[in-house]
Amino acid sequence: MPSTSRKQIPEDGQRDPLPVGANIRRFRVESGMTLKDLAERSGVSIATISKIENGKNSGGFETIYKIARGLGVLVTEIIKSERDGRQNFVVHRRDDTDLHPTGIYDYFPQAFRQAGSLNPYVMVIHTHTVPDKRDWSVHSGEEVVFVISGAIELHREGRAPARLEAGDSACFDSGIRHAFVCASKAPARIFSVSTRVASRRAIGRSPFVQSP
């Protein structure tokens, strides 16, 4: 039986088998953003974004992660493959470990359907300081986090941070900018599941409009 393991985004200079650039361009245009707008929001240069959109550079996961933050979408919405949309059942084995480090978090994708509405990750939270606002997450839908080990502070824009210990969980509107901070000596491990929309056009307003 063929493996259902998902491939990581190739490193710079390698051929990209997924329509990453086309997806970035589509989300950017649907959001009404110019290359300059996205560069300012993501911290990725205009030249790099342009090369990725035109298929001249794959970017690597950390770069795509920053661009997704700037677009206000989930990384999996950018790296999804049309061929995977036909999958009705996906198994992710414990040996199918895809590590996606970002410097502040490590992401370990779990089983998900590209055409589905759930986005699950095991995350390791390394940072003990509140990330720069540009690195906070914002994406339409809801998110549930469960603390596997250690402790975290869940920061939401305009709200007081919430401390969560091992065994605690929280559900929140992921359209409000949010970030995780490790509140234990050792890196904290959490399980996160967020919902996503099938198309950017289904979003009623830009994610950059501040929530009340």
**So where are the chain's domains?**
89-202
Q: Helices 46-53 and 20-30: crossing angle, nearest 10°?
A: 120
What pLDDT, on a 0 to 100 scale, did the predictor assign at position 89? 86
Torsion (CA) 15, 102, 39, 179 in degrees, nearest 10: 140
Euclidean distance between CA atoms 160 and 163, whole angstroms: 10
What pLDDT, on a 0 to 100 scale, did the predictor assign at position 57? 85
What pLDDT, on a 0 to 100 scale, did the predictor assign at position 94? 85
**Architecture of domain 89-202 in this structure:** Sandwich (2.60)
Reduced to 3 states, what is the DSSP secondary structure of residue 53?
helix
Euclidean distance between CA atoms 147 and 135, whole angstroms: 21
* Phi then psi dihedrals of residue 161, to 5 deg: -65, 150
What pLDDT, on a 0 to 100 scale, did the predictor assign at position 183? 98
Euclidean distance between CA atoms 6 and 159, whole angstroms: 36
Euclidean distance between CA atoms 192 and 58, whole angstroms: 26
What pLDDT, on a 0 to 100 scale, did the predictor assign at position 198? 53
What pLDDT, on a 0 to 100 scale, did the predictor assign at position 74? 82
- pLDDT by residue for the chain (212 residues), tens only, comes to 333 334 433 334 344 444 889 999 999 999 899 999 999 999 999 999 999 999 888 788 889 988 988 998 888 788 765 444 566 888 888 887 778 888 899 999 898 887 788 999 999 999 999 999 988 999 889 999 999 999 999 999 999 999 999 999 999 999 999 999 999 999 999 999 999 765 443 333 333 333 33
Strand order across the beta sheet in which 100-101 lies: 100-101, 105-109, 118-125, 188-195, 142-149, 169-173
